[in-house]
């Protein structure tokens, strides 16, 4: 399914006119409509969200709501999770079908299945537990579910990894190598027992001996936003302001996380800054829309991006006001566009991995 061309009425109209029309449509649709807004959304979209949060929080919240139409202002894997967790009589809509996640797209099911077969073949006798970050496709979640593994989030990755290592000899972690590595090191796993599986190399570029010794095998995916933060930026801020606190997302490289004062999920970042005293200074290693929002929300604190550049999630930014208005106009006229659906078999297997996380 491809994104339809919206035309000049939605793409060339002034933003203030579009925003006024969105407010009118939202009011018309009333309780039939639930708009979910991820923290990384631009303010023009974020202001219309009925619920805000990270990806799994929003999908889980949607499952407790009764609105028949759920418009997810996020990216594709998030809308998939919402469709898996909501009722059959609820419809999940993504305003722009091109809003994907580069990290999630780095773990393609065919490559994962082939790599799993290769890995199990060379570590015969060892049990392997797959774990996938929630930032992954429904097919990857389903693969992990049917192979006895669990989903994790950036806030519970260490707990899920602890569970997986207690259950099996090794963990195959998808798709973000940095979240996996940071979590493994936090648990005290030695560096030589954590290896990287490179997608384009035989056995991920590892020797049989390395794989047999490894306890955690990391898929070589990454977040294009959080890769823009560096250890040198941390050093720069500390020289500029010795009292500053550095807080970063665990999708950042380990050398960045290891130099930070605090690291954690978007919710951890928000809560840490919210609870800090007036006058405190922060350099934040995450997406710029969230950083700017925190800066406006807490004017009594000095809040900056860790990077001197605008670290924007370009795919999240595809959800522009014109696209939101377009789907609301269609809903108001009794038509559904850009519906995101996960087939029943995939959804049931994906639920296995999601439910295991909840049990953990």
Mean pLDDT of 278-282: 97
* Domains with residue ranges and CATH for the chain: 8-100+315-342 (3.40.50.10800), 104-223 (3.40.50.10800), 226-305 (3.40.50.10800)
Predicted local confidence at residue 55, as pLDDT: 83
Asked whether the predicted pLDDT for residue 360 surpasses 90, the reply is no
Q: What is the pLDDT of residue 337?
A: 98
Give yes or no for residue 342 having a pLDDT over 90: yes
Residue-level pLDDT at 56: 82
Q: What is the mean pLDDT of residues 140-168?
A: 97
Q: What is the pLDDT of residue 1?
A: 78
Give the pLDDT confidence of 225-246 residue by residue, as tens digits.
999 999 999 999 999 999 999 9
The per-residue pLDDT for range 243-260, each reduced to its tens digit, is 999 999 999 999 999 999
* pLDDT tens digits for range 55-84: 888 888 888 989 999 999 999 999 999 999
- pLDDT of the residue at 57: 87
What pTM did the predictor assign?
0.95
CB 91 within 8 A of CB 350: no
User: Is residue 283 within 8 Å of 237, Cβ to Cβ?
Assistant: yes
Q: What is the pLDDT of residue 270?
A: 97
Q: Which residue has the tokens 């959304």?
A: 41
Check pLDDT > 90 for residue 288: yes
């Amino acid at each position: 399914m491809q994104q339809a061309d919206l035309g000049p009425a939605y793409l060339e109209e002034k933003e203030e006119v579009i925003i006024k029309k969105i407010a009118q449509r939202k009011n018309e649709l009333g309780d039939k409509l639930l708009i979910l807004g991820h923290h990384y959304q631009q303010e023009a979209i974020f202001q219309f969200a009925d619920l805000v949060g990270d990806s799994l929080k929003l999908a889980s919240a949607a499952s407790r709501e009764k609105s028949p139409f759920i418009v997810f202002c996020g990216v594709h894997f998030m809308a998939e999770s919402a469709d898996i967790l909501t009722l059959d009589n609820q419809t999940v809509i993504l305003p722009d079908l091109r809003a994907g996640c580069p990290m999630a797209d780095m773990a393609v099911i065919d490559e994962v299945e082939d790599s799993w077969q290769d890995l199990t073949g060379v570590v015969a006798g060892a049990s392997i537990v797959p774990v996938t970050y929630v930032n992954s496709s429904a097919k990857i979640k389903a693969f992990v579910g049917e192979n006895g593994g669990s989903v994790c989030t950036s806030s519970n990755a260490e707990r899920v990894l602890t569970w997986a290592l207690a259950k099996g000899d090794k963990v195959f972690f998808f798709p973000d190598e940095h979240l996996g590595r940071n979590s493994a090191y936090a648990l005290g796993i030695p560096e030589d027992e954590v290896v990287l599986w490179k997608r384009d190399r035989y056995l991920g570029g590892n020797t049989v001996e390395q794989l047999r010794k490894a306890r955690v095998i990391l898929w070589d995916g990454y977040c294009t936003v959080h890769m823009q933060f560096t250890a040198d930026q941390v050093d720069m801020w500390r020289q500029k302001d010795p009292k500053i606190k550095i807080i970063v997302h665990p999708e950042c490289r380990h050398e960045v996380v290891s130099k930070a004062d605090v690291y954690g999920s978007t919710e951890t970042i928000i809560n840490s800054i919210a609870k800090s005293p007036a006058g405190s200074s922060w350099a934040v290693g995450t997406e710029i829309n969230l950083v700017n929002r925190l800066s406006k929300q807490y004017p009594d604190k000095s809040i900056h991006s860790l990077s001197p550049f605008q670290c924007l999630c370009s795919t999240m930014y595809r959800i522009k006001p014109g696209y939101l208005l377009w789907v609301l106009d269609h809903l108001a006229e009794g038509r559904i566009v850009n519906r995101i659906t996960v087939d029943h078999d995939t959804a049931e297997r994906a639920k296995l991995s999601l439910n295991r996380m909840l049990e953990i």
